[in-house]
Amino acid sequence: MNNEITGKPIDRVDGRLKITGGAQYAAEFPMKDLAYGVAITATIAKGHIASIDTRAAEKIPGVFGVLSYKNSMSLHFPQGGDPGSGKYAEKDLLPLQSDRIFYDGQMIAVAIADTFEKAEYAASLVAITYEPETAVLEIEPNASNARQPKTGLGNQPMQTKRGDASTALANAPVTIDYTYTTPVYHHNAMEPHATTAQWTGDELLIYDSTQSVYGSHSLMANMLGLEPEKVRLIALYIGGGFGSKGFSWPNTVVAAMASKLVGKPVQLALARQQMFTTAGRRSQTIQNVSLGADRDGKLLSIRHASIVETSFVDEFIEPCGVATTMLYACPNLEVTHKVVNLNRGTPCPMRAPGESVGTYALEAAMDELAVKLQMDPIALRLANYADEDPQKKKPFSSKNLRECYEQGAAAIGWKDRNVQPASMRQGRYLVGYGMATATYPANRSASTARAILFADGRAEIECCTQDIGTGTYTIMTQIAADALSLPITKVKVKLGDSDFPKGANSGGSQVSASVGPAIRAAAIDVVGKLAKLAVQDTGSPLHGLDEKTIQANNSGIYSSAEPQRGESFQALLSRLRLDRIDALATTNVSTRAPEAGQPEAIRNYSFHSWGAQFIRVLVDPDLYTVKIDKAVSVMDIGKVLNQKTATNQIMGGMIFGIGMALMESSVYDPARGRVVTRDLANYLVPVHADMPVFDIRFIDRPDVLISPIGARGIGEIGITGTAAAVANAIYHATGKRVRDLPISLEKLMD
């Protein structure tokens, strides 16, 4: 293939549409007689609705009605549980089906009108009284009631052991034992959760903001009691999700219910405040990490015990210790998870669920062990480098983590670091350096794609996956263009429509590794069909040749043995009077179910991505304000499909981690269970003024075992290790160790 496009930093193919407003999101599709819904939410944490009076609201001209449990259609209990097949976030709380209240902010009604303003006013007039009950509101006082589940999402083990961690810890020459806590975090994507639904007879069209077009489509058909072919779900553009849109929340099915009630298309978009209660969040965690090592730093024991919380209407367990089981070579390990039920909305995946908060605790603990050993933190990690997965006892498909450490240390100036805490200054500021390891599983699942080559020389690709803002349209265009040997201007990738062939959901950083090979295979199949036609056509320069020797090149097909023999796609299809050639390809490889008839390479290896995070901070010694001065990330994620979008993803992940470490925190009223920080004025996120100098690099070495394109996922690994690197840098700058995130200035002053 000449002049390969894959890997190059080309601009996003959807960039112009987005900056000019041409990209349509779920609440932006014009429809005739469109009605607007405004959600009404509960104001108690537990109890029953005693009465709901809608008369004043319904008297307003232009108000079509108020949907509640009293007049809603009955829903079917959702089947399945894997987000790839559709996962309703709160399986024991189907929306508007009863008068029960399980958390403050629960959706309990929807006002529907011909304008948004009227619907909002009508919602304010709905009078609701409650019969409150005693709620369980905080994790710490209820930790003694915690349960110890065997598995979490996707049957992931929640309790893991090898060797005898307790005995090894008791006998270890050097030990540390600390507890690290993280608060509730909220996703806060730019585009709120939004749905537009329209019935035509017994057929339903849904525009939704979702990370799983195929899964959401299947789930809506299931919950509404419809045949799948009666439902079409479209999500052409999504303004971020970060995990919250991987599950389905009330807005999607309630929009369809509201549309059925009023006989009009209905648009339902959550307000920013409602996204703090009825659209998911990251669980609060309490993590105790105990490490035992010999005096050379070799780990003898790891214990990572987590207490997390979930709701009373579903069980999502933040898998804090999942990375701990495989990150370092240690013969004795015990990872446990306990869960407490609270009257809060259900937590859900949030960018690197488990690994983000878990690597904070583990990597901060590793830094504390390095301090106690008087050992360089990088040297400690190299002393415990795992060449194979220590839990699965399988070699990694690819691992270049040593190079990540080496390049990152050089880029941050690690050699200039004075090991003594609070010893370095830049002007009046204290200077600190911190580092941590990043890791995330390399997931791949079954996907199908259709490639269509038209007689005019252009191509289209169809797949029911989605681009949640990460650049999927762009990298899939690059993959298809290379496989067909077409310029990218001749390739259009079409995603986000349930009418297209099934594609992977955007969860677990798997779309690139799952959909990319399917698109490549479909494109190659198109070339194969063209080759077969050409060798059988007496009018073709390729007539009579072995079709296996024919390949795509320069918008046509040519003989690899005799490059002068060939013709353009247009010439071949025109001569044969064909308007198109298409092919459908399915790749059934799954790294999550490696024993289920998967290829030998998949069965015999453990698949992960790796990285090293380095942070330089400046701390004001009087005010204890923290400025991230420089952030270096070196990533081993297999083949880089687009240097520009890949850099963007890692930078975004690191910004997520910086926010997690320094400012983000969802605060609940301990007496009422209500989220207090429920807007972006009080829930602080990093902004431009908080940004450091970023230096993001890639090893860029294809993983030839995971797929023919050699790429592993990149969307989530950037956050892992970042919060720990920030915390470790702050300790180095100040000599003060804060183990309770976020690291606010008042905690540093204590």
| Whether the predicted pLDDT of 704 surpasses 90 | yes
Per residue in 147-189, pLDDT (tens digit) is 999 999 889 999 999 999 999 999 999 999 999 999 999 999 9
Instruction: Round the average pLDDT of the chain to a whole number and report it.
Output: 97
| Whether the predicted pLDDT of 70 surpasses 50 | yes
| C-alpha closest to that of 75 among 226, 198, 195 | 226
| Whether the predicted pLDDT of 254 surpasses 80 | yes
**Share above pLDDT 70 across residues of the chain, in percent, rounded to a whole number:** 99
Q: DSSP readout, 583-595?
A: EEEEE---SSSTT
- b/e sequence 700-724, b meaning 16+ C-beta within 10 Å: bebbebbbebbbbbbbbbbbbbbbb
Please give the pLDDT value at position 1. Answer: 43
Separation CA 181–CA 738 (nearest Å): 10
Please give the pLDDT value at position 80. Answer: 58
Q: What is the dihedral of CA 618, 619, 620, 626, to 10 degrees?
A: 100
| C-alpha closest to that of 293 among 404, 390, 381 | 381
Question: Rounded to the nearest 10 degrees, what angle do helices 511-536 and 472-484 cross at?
Answer: 30
Please give the pLDDT value at position 256. Answer: 98
Burial class (CB in 10 A: 0-12, 13-18, 19+), 576: middle
Cβ-proximal residues to 119 (8 Å cutoff; 6+ apart), any chain: 35, 36, 37, 38, 63, 111, 112, 113
The mean per-residue pLDDT over the stretch 614-635 comes to 98
Radius of gyration of the chain (CA): 27
Provide the token pair at 30.
């014009």
- b/e sequence 446-473, b meaning 16+ C-beta within 10 Å: bbbbbbbbbbebbbbbbbbbbbbbbbbb
Q: DSSP readout, 293-358?
A: E-TT--EEEEEEEEEEEE-SS------TTTTHHHHB--S-EEEEEEEEE-SSPPP---SSTTHHHH
| C-alpha closest to that of 340 among 100, 134, 150, 136 | 136
Query: Is 716 a catalytic site residue?
Result: yes
Per residue in 292-344, pLDDT (tens digit) is 999 999 999 999 999 999 999 999 999 999 999 999 999 999 999 999 999 99
Query: Which band of pLDDT confidence, cut at 50, 70 and 90, is reported for residue 558?
Result: very high
Please give the pLDDT value at position 84. Answer: 56
Provide the token pair at 439.
């890791």
Identified catalytic residue from 309, 368, 664, 716: 716
**Is the Cβ–Cβ distance between 111 and 126 less than 8 Å?**
yes
pTM: 0.97
**Is the Cβ–Cβ distance between 634 and 697 less than 8 Å?**
yes
| Whether the predicted pLDDT of 260 surpasses 90 | yes
Query: Which band of pLDDT confidence, cut at 50, 70 and 90, is reported for residue 287?
Result: very high
Asked, as a colleague might, if the bond just before 742 is cis with ω within 30 of 0, I would say yes
Per residue in 180-214, pLDDT (tens digit) is 999 999 999 999 999 999 999 999 999 999 999 99
Query: Which band of pLDDT confidence, cut at 50, 70 and 90, is reported for residue 78?
Result: confident
Per residue in 567-615, pLDDT (tens digit) is 999 999 999 999 999 999 999 999 988 887 899 889 999 999 999 999 9
| C-alpha closest to that of 172 among 285, 281, 303, 275 | 303
Burial class (CB in 10 A: 0-12, 13-18, 19+), 114: middle
Confirm or reject CATH 3.10.20.30 for domain 15-20+445-588, answering yes or no: no
- b/e sequence 101-111, b meaning 16+ C-beta within 10 Å: bbbbbbbbbbb
**Is the Cβ–Cβ distance between 292 and 300 less than 8 Å?**
yes
Please give the pLDDT value at position 723. Answer: 98
Sequence-ordered alpha helix ranges (H) in 138-249: 165-171, 213-224
Please give the pLDDT value at position 420. Answer: 97
Query: Which band of pLDDT confidence, cut at 50, 70 and 90, is reported for residue 226?
Result: very high
Please give the pLDDT value at position 691. Answer: 97
Separation CA 607–CA 445 (nearest Å): 13
Q: DSSP readout, 355-394?
A: HHHHHHHHHHHHHHHHHHHT--HHHHHHHTB-SEETTTTE
- b/e sequence 291-300, b meaning 16+ C-beta within 10 Å: bbbeeebbbb
Question: Nearest 5°: CA angle at 216, between 720 and 351?
Answer: 10
Sequence spans of domains, the chain: 15-20+445-588
Please give the pLDDT value at position 154. Answer: 87
Separation CA 688–CA 176 (nearest Å): 37
**Is the Cβ–Cβ distance between 28 and 239 less than 8 Å?**
no
Separation CA 742–CA 16 (nearest Å): 37
**Is the Cβ–Cβ distance between 237 and 23 less than 8 Å?**
yes
- Residue 456 is classified by DSSP as T
- Residue 193 is classified by DSSP as P
The mean per-residue pLDDT over the stretch 254-279 comes to 98
The SS3 assignment for 671 reads coil
Q: At 713, which amino acid appears?
A: G
Enumerate the β-bridge partners of residue 634. Answer: 612, 697
Please give the pLDDT value at position 592. Answer: 86
E strand or H helix at 292? strand 285-293
Provide the token pair at 597.
């008839």
| C-alpha closest to that of 441 among 720, 165, 152, 724 | 720
The mean per-residue pLDDT over the stretch 447-460 comes to 98
E strand or H helix at 521? helix 511-536
Enumerate the β-bridge partners of residue 189. Answer: none
Cβ-proximal residues to 40 (8 Å cutoff; 6+ apart), any chain: 66, 107, 108, 109, 110, 111, 123, 126, 128
**Is the Cβ–Cβ distance between 557 and 582 less than 8 Å?**
no
Largest CA distance in the chain: 86
Distance separating the N- and C-terminal Cα atoms of the chain:
62
**Is the Cβ–Cβ distance between 471 and 649 less than 8 Å?**
yes
Residue written as tokens 């992977």? Answer: 504
